[in-house]
């Protein structure tokens, strides 16, 4: 064990949407900050994803196994690198809807009220959109929440073939709107992420130390158990101890919970900060279905997501419960999650030559359909020895099935409108639900709240049990909503950053 001779004001574990953003927020304080990242910096050529290889080689799987309900191992699609999962996401930064922060009744249960409301997050949503250079337009989407200002950059234009589809959708009385995207506008690396906007600007800061390939394995407390005094880290084949006044976890909902559970000690026998028994529980990820719409004309195959549809977010005339969110995938060959969604292109890719797969993708439009699941304490992260168990049984299926079939009805009318000869003999839309390996949009596991008996974190995302320990990834979500969590993670990190700046004074 090597004991580091430095003492840090803040130690941040993880560089994704939460950790990278928080580091950016705190850098100007001049305080001594250590940033620990399990992975390495990703070479640009690996980030260039518009290629059949992502369908054939499973490039973005973690080099480890987790275990499902039956105890069977699987390799999760999660990214250990500087920037975390923002290096492989779709770059859509969407605000949660105002009602998402309230108690929401679903057909299969209740999504609980948040202890903060949309108005509390709105200033930080605006700050996040500026920091991440979000391109968008405040829309006429009936679910669109209020904005205190316009987006900092104009919305991205639709691909020409996508524009025809968008017009046909609007012709049905629906509200297809532009999807807010974080963009750098750099040709070689066009999408924004937490490395680009959070970590990279800090590399030359004298008060910031970044250690990549540094896996945190345990948090050590003082004898009373009310303060984290050191972080145990594996770098290469060596073990290190780093000391800091404040420790912030931003490892993702699964890994932050697992780290707390692995840090059990005499004062915290069930896991660090787990007097409530809630660490790891209420694990959520969206119900997600990928749908392929055959296209009569080839598209560019390499374009950004640009379409958002929320007309069925809260249900429709035949279903009085929330159904979910819809967006297009962008070019299929650059959508990593789509590549993991049997029985669509991922299955075909195993046998199809690269040329054939590319031609199929160029004549297809992909759609993502997201529905919220209801938090369930039995959906949880559990640690047994060295094994991480991902106990997860989805719920709220009827709402999601209705969303899928309602959207396919929309696509049938679209294809008639645009004269899609591909479907003359019948409307066939290949579709597939994402498998357990896809852990995108994971959240929950350390929900925040005012009652220490039912929550892990307080209103500032500080653990109720340990005074100097915070969590700023998606773990804090009491419910998931149906939109992607990235912008809310970023906004919350900025909000918690304000609190930490005051504490550090």
Hey, what domains does the chain have and what are their CATH numbers?
A: 2-46+78-504 (3.50.50.60)
The torsion angles phi and psi of 197, rounded to 5 degrees, stand at -100, -15
Average pLDDT over every residue of 71-83: 95
Supply the pLDDT for residue 50: 47
Judged against a pLDDT cut of 80, whether residue 16 lies above it is answered with: yes
Q: Tens digits of per-residue pLDDT, 234-258?
A: 999 999 999 999 999 999 999 999 9
Q: Is 477 in contact with 374 (CB distance < 8 Å)?
A: no
Q: Tens digits of per-residue pLDDT, 129-170?
A: 999 999 999 988 999 999 999 999 999 999 888 899 999 999
The torsion angles phi and psi of 423, rounded to 5 degrees, stand at -110, 20
- Which of 435, 367, 439 has the alpha carbon at shortest distance from 403? 367
Supply the pLDDT for residue 43: 85
Supply the pLDDT for residue 358: 64
Supply the pLDDT for residue 299: 64
Average pLDDT over every residue of 466-495: 99
Least confident of 43-47, 310-314, 345-349, 435-439: 345-349
Please, what is the average pLDDT of the chain? 91
With bands split at pLDDT 50, 70 and 90, how would you rate the model's confidence at 337? low
Q: Is 59 in contact with 47 (CB distance < 8 Å)?
A: no
Supply the pLDDT for residue 425: 46
Average pLDDT over every residue of 66-73: 98
Q: Tens digits of per-residue pLDDT, 338-387?
A: 555 544 555 444 444 454 556 666 777 889 999 999 999 999 999 999 99
Average pLDDT over every residue of 214-237: 98
Q: Tens digits of per-residue pLDDT, 38-66?
A: 999 998 766 555 444 544 456 677 889 99
Angle of the 397-418 helix axis to the 160-170 helix axis, nearest 10:
110
Quote the percentage of the chain above a pLDDT of 70. 87
Cis-peptide, bond into residue 492, ω within 30° of zero: no
Judged against a pLDDT cut of 80, whether residue 224 lies above it is answered with: yes
Average pLDDT over every residue of 84-97: 95
Q: Is 287 in contact with 433 (CB distance < 8 Å)?
A: yes
Judged against a pLDDT cut of 50, whether residue 88 lies above it is answered with: yes
Average pLDDT over every residue of 222-231: 98
Average pLDDT over every residue of 189-200: 94
Supply the pLDDT for residue 161: 83
Which one has a higher pLDDT value, 47 or 422?
A: 47
Contacts of 65 (CB under 8 A, 6+ apart): 73, 74, 75
Average pLDDT over every residue of 455-484: 99
Contacts of 118 (CB under 8 A, 6+ apart): 96, 97, 98, 100, 101, 145, 146
Q: Tens digits of per-residue pLDDT, 378-412?
A: 999 999 999 999 999 999 999 999 999 999 999 99
Kindly state the tokens that stand for 370.
């997201």
Average pLDDT over every residue of 477-487: 99
Judged against a pLDDT cut of 80, whether residue 32 lies above it is answered with: yes
Supply the pLDDT for residue 386: 95
H helix or E strand, kind and range, residue 365: strand 364-371
């Amino acid at each position: 064990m090597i004991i580091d001779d430095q003492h840090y004001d803040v130690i941040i574990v993880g560089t994704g949407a939460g950790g990278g953003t928080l580091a950016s927020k705190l850098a100007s304080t001049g305080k001594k900050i250590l940033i620990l990242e399990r992975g390495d910096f990703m070479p640009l050529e690996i980030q260039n994803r518009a290629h059949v290889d992502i369908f054939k080689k499973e490039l973005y799987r973690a080099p480890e196994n987790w275990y499902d309900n039956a105890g069977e191992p699987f390799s999760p699609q999660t990214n250990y690198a500087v920037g975390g999962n923002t290096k492989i996401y779709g770059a859509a930064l969407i605000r949660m809807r105002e009602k998402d922060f309230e108690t929401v009744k679903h057909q299969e249960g209740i999504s609980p009220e948040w202890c903060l409301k949309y108005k509390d997050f709105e200033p930080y949503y605006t700050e996040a959109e500026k920091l991440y250079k979000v391109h968008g337009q405040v829309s006429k989407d009936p679910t669109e929440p209020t904005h205190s200002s316009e987006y900092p950059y104009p919305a991205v234009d639709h691909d020409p073939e996508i524009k025809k589809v968008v017009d046909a959708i609007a012709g049905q009385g629906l509200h297809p709107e532009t999807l807010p995207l974080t963009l750098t506008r750099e040709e070689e690396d066009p999408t924004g992420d937490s490395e680009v906007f959070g970590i990279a600007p800090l590399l030359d800061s004298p008060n910031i130390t970044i250690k990549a390939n540094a896996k945190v394995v345990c948090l050590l407390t003082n004898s009373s158990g009310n303060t984290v005094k050191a972080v145990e880290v594996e770098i290469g084949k060596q073990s290190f101890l780093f000391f800091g006044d404040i420790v912030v976890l931003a490892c993702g909902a699964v890994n932050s919970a697992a780290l707390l559970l692995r840090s059990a000690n005499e004062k915290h026998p069930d896991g660090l900060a787990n007097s409530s028994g809630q660490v790891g529980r209420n694990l959520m990820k969206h119900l997600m279905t990928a749908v392929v719409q055959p296209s009569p004309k080839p598209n560019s195959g390499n374009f950004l997501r640009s379409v958002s549809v929320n007309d069925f977010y809260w249900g429709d005339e035949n279903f009085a419960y929330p159904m979910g969110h819809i967006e297009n995938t962008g070019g299929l060959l650059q959508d990593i999650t789509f590549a993991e969604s049997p029985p669509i292109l991922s299955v075909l890719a195993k046998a199809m030559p690269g040329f054939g797969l590319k031609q199929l993708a160029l004549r297809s439009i992909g759609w993502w359909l997201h529905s919220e699941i209801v938090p369930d304490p039995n959906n949880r992260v559990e640690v047994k020895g060295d094994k991480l168990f991902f106990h997860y049984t989805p719920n709220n299926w009827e709402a999601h099935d209705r969303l899928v079939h309602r959207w396919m009805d929309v696509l049938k009318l679209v294809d008639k409108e645009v004269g899609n000869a591909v479907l003359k003999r019948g409307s066939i839309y290949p579709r597939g639900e994402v498998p357990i390996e896809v852990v995108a949009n994971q959240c929950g596991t350390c929900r925040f709240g005012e009652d220490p008996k039912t929550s892990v974190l307080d209103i500032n995302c500080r653990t109720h049990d340990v005074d100097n320990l915070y969590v700023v990834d998606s773990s804090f979500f009491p419910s998931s909503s149906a939109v992607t969590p990235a912008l809310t993670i970023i906004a919350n990190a900025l909000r918690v950053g304000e609190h930490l700046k005051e504490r550090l004074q």
